[in-house]
Amino acid sequence: MKRQLTQPILRRTLGAVVAAAFAVLASPAALAQVPTDKPIRIVAAGPAGATTDIVARLLADGLQKELNQTVVVDPKPGAGGAVAVNDLMQAPHDGHTVLVALNALVSEIPHIVKLRFDMAKEIKPLAELGRAGIVMVGHPSVPAKSLGEVISYVKTSPGKVSYASYSAGTLSHVMGLQLNKAAGIDMSHVGYKGSTPALTDVMGGHVPLMFDGIPTAIPMIKAGKIVPYAVSLPQRSPLLPNVPTFAELGYPQLEATGWQGLWVTPDVPAAAQNRLREAALKVMAQPATRERLRELGLEPGQPRTPDELVKSLRVDYDRVGAVLKSIDFKPE
């Protein structure tokens, strides 16, 4: 059944982040059951040229060769991915229209926007294409070169040191709240409509601290315009090898990973789902694709099963929801 997404439209874009997976061979039985005379259309949840669009095009190029089938990318910006999801839901549910989007569609957006239905039941993840974490950064004028020094600095001025997020209600916001609780500090939150304006204000010294996606922060870190303190990944990022993880520094509750995924509606035939997943994993495991993703500030994804991805989405959804509930955050 096709249903329109509700309004109001999200006012903020989601930050973001994410990379490739390991190869498996496509099932001959699945290949035989799925028609290949129609082009595959990948709806990318974001504007042309953005990270999600680039990941979708890398996938499309590989799928076209792997499946010997025409594959096109159709970027759909707006509403933090809601416009793209609406497009997917309105297309035939036969496996010829798929979605590339962030896990935030399920783990964060339902907490930010009021929906008439359960987003987790409308779209299903087939494969993790890539991943990235959050990095805490600060303006060079902040008298701190480590997370411990940041915490000490904030404690000297409770309630007077602020941190930026790329959107209220997102992981970028939640992580600051979690650090407040874990470290016994009181940073105030300043929400923005996207990573770019937030980073601009941090680099300008208007807001001293920020939690941002690694891909968007890396160019500014390398240019010396912001200072990194810690990353949210389970291990140090190879893109920022000298930056410790929050877990290393004694804050395991701040471990979090965002990922770009390949999604379909759950009622797409199983044979088509299997064919798409297996081909996507094989494509994203190719060395050239993995290298290109790293250039974007993304890391290779993991070959988690759809069931494992769904389980992780539930965990992330509950985690974000619990933190937002503690500050009485209300969806728009």
For each of the chain's 332 residues, which pLDDT tens digit applies?
Answer: 444 444 333 333 333 333 222 222 233 333 334 456 799 999 999 888 888 999 999 999 999 999 999 999 999 988 778 889 999 999 999 999 999 999 999 999 888 887 766 889 999 999 999 999 999 999 999 999 999 999 999 999 988 999 999 988 999 999 999 999 999 999 999 999 888 999 999 999 999 999 999 999 999 999 999 999 999 999 999 999 999 999 999 999 999 999 999 999 999 999 999 999 999 999 999 999 999 999 888 988 899 999 999 999 999 999 999 999 998 888 76
SS3 163: strand
* Total structural domains within the chain: 2
Residues 237 and 287 in one domain: no
Q: Are residues 81 and 155 in the same domain?
A: no
- Regarding whether 306 and 244 lie in a shared domain, the answer is no
* Domain termination residue (choose one: 254, 285, 309): 254
Residue 332, in any domain of the structure: no
pLDDT tens by residue, 265-320: 999 999 999 999 999 999 999 999 999 999 888 988 899 999 999 999 999 999 99
**The last residue of a domain, from among 230, 254, 278:** 254
Domain C-terminal end among 226, 254, 282: 254
Instruction: Give per-residue pLDDT as tens, 1-24.
Output: 444 444 333 333 333 333 222 222
Query: Is 123 among the domain residues?
Result: yes
- The set of residues, in sequence order, having a beta carbon less than 8 Å from that of 308 and lying 6+ positions away, is none
* 152 lies in the same domain as 209: yes
As a whole number of angstroms, the distance between CA 32 and CA 83 comes to 33
Q: Which one, of 254, 248, 54, 20, lies nearest residue 135 by Cα?
A: 254
Per DSSP, 93 falls in state S
Contact (CB, 8 A) for 308 and 127: no
E-state strands within 133-271: 134-138, 162-165, 188-191, 209-213, 227-231, 258-264
* Domain extent for 308: 28-132+258-326
Is 175 in the same domain as 116?
Answer: no
| Terminal-residue alpha carbon distance, the chain | 26
* One domain, residues 245 and 278: no
Q: Could you tell me if 123 and 138 lie in one domain?
A: no
Q: Does a structural domain hold residue 218?
A: yes
How many beta carbons lie within 10 A of that of residue 59, not counting itself? 28
In a domain, 111, yes or no: yes
pLDDT at 36: 60
pTM above 0.85, yes or no: no
Q: Do residues 124 and 73 share a domain?
A: yes
Burial of 153 (0-12, 13-18, 19+ CB in 10 A): middle
Decide if 5 is inside a domain: no
CA distance 169 to 321: 9
Q: Are residues 111 and 202 in the same domain?
A: no
107 part of a folded domain = yes
